[in-house]
Every structure is written in C-alpha cells, then in structure tokens.
Amino acid sequence: MKTFVVISDSHGRRGAVDKVRHLFAENDHIVHLGDGSADLRDTMSAFPDKTTVLRGNCDFSYGEEECVLEAEGVRIFCCHGHKYGVKGSLSKLAARARELGCDAALYGHTHRAKIEEVDGVLLVNPGALGSFTEASYAYLVVHGKKITAAIVPLK
C-alpha cells in the first residue's frame, strides 16, 4: 500500500501548506500540482525522494511541467491542468493519461476539488490551498491495482 498527499494552488500561502506539513513524513508521496510550487522548496529539501512538484501557469521557474508516478504497478499522470483545458472539459486530460498508459491523473488549476472518472481514467483535483475557495487537499491510497481518493477540507 502506498499513500499520497496531493495539494495544489497554494499561491504563496505558506500558512496553509504548514497546516498539512505534519502529514508529509507519514506518507509515501507528496505532490504539489502547481501555482505555488515554490511553497514546497523546504519540503523538497526535507523529503527529496518522495516529493514531486509541478509547475502551474503562475509558476515561472520551479517544478516539472508534467510527470508520471508509479505505485504498486499503478501509473498516475500529474500536471497542473491548464494546458489541457480543465476549466472547460476533462476529456483532453483523460486522453493524455490514457496515451501515457495511466490509470489516474492528478490536476489542479480550477481551484475546485473534484473526483471523477472519464473514459476509464480516475481524475482527481485536490482543490486549492489558497484562499480562493474552501481550502482542501486530496489523499490517495494505492493498494494493488486499486486507487482510492478522498478530498479533505483544510481546517
């Protein structure tokens, strides 16, 4: 079993990141999906082998454009989402994940938490840690070939 803490769109609000920081040590993967990627620089130093940081449309120099993570034979596509038009439709995102042989895709950009399946691909948006909407993050568990995702409100 592998666990993931997935955050996005913190937009420099490091206080919100600090509220989930206690989860980082106890999970197998930490993922920031962009727009505030620099907010995880300290985390990258502390947990370099399990932290993945993506670059969003508001990030100019820090993070990967996109990547694929693997856990227990499950492939997970990660991106910010703006290049796939996620504010209008999730079909391009699902198609890209399928093209890469992924079972799931993690994305941000919309600031709206959402878990949905499109064309057989589990799509998970953790929402935003910034102050634009009710702050939230996603928690994923991969066990065997099964992925379980939950949205967790930030308190």
Count of other CB atoms within 10 angstroms of residue 69 = 18
Do strands 136-143 and 2-7 pair parallel, antiparallel, or not at all (unpaired)?
Answer: antiparallel
Domains observed in the chain: 2-153 (3.60.21.10)
Which residues, in sequence order, are CB contacts of 39 under 8 Å at separation 6+?
10, 12, 13, 14, 17, 32
Written as one string, the DSSP assignment of 32-97 is: E-SSSGGGGHHHHHH-TTTEEEB--TT-SSSSBSEEEEEETTEEEEEE-SGGGTTTT-SHHHHHHH
> What pLDDT, on a 0 to 100 scale, did the predictor assign at position 102?
98
- Predicted pLDDT of residue 132: 72
Output the pLDDT for position 105.
98
Per-residue pLDDT of the chain (155 residues; tens, 9 = 90+): 999 999 999 999 999 999 999 999 999 999 999 999 999 999 999 999 999 999 999 998 789 999 999 999 999 999 999 999 999 999 999 999 999 999 999 999 999 999 999 999 999 999 999 767 789 999 999 999 899 999 999 97
What values do phi and psi take at 154, rounded to 5? Answer: -85, 125
pLDDT at 130: 74
- The pLDDT of residue 133: 79
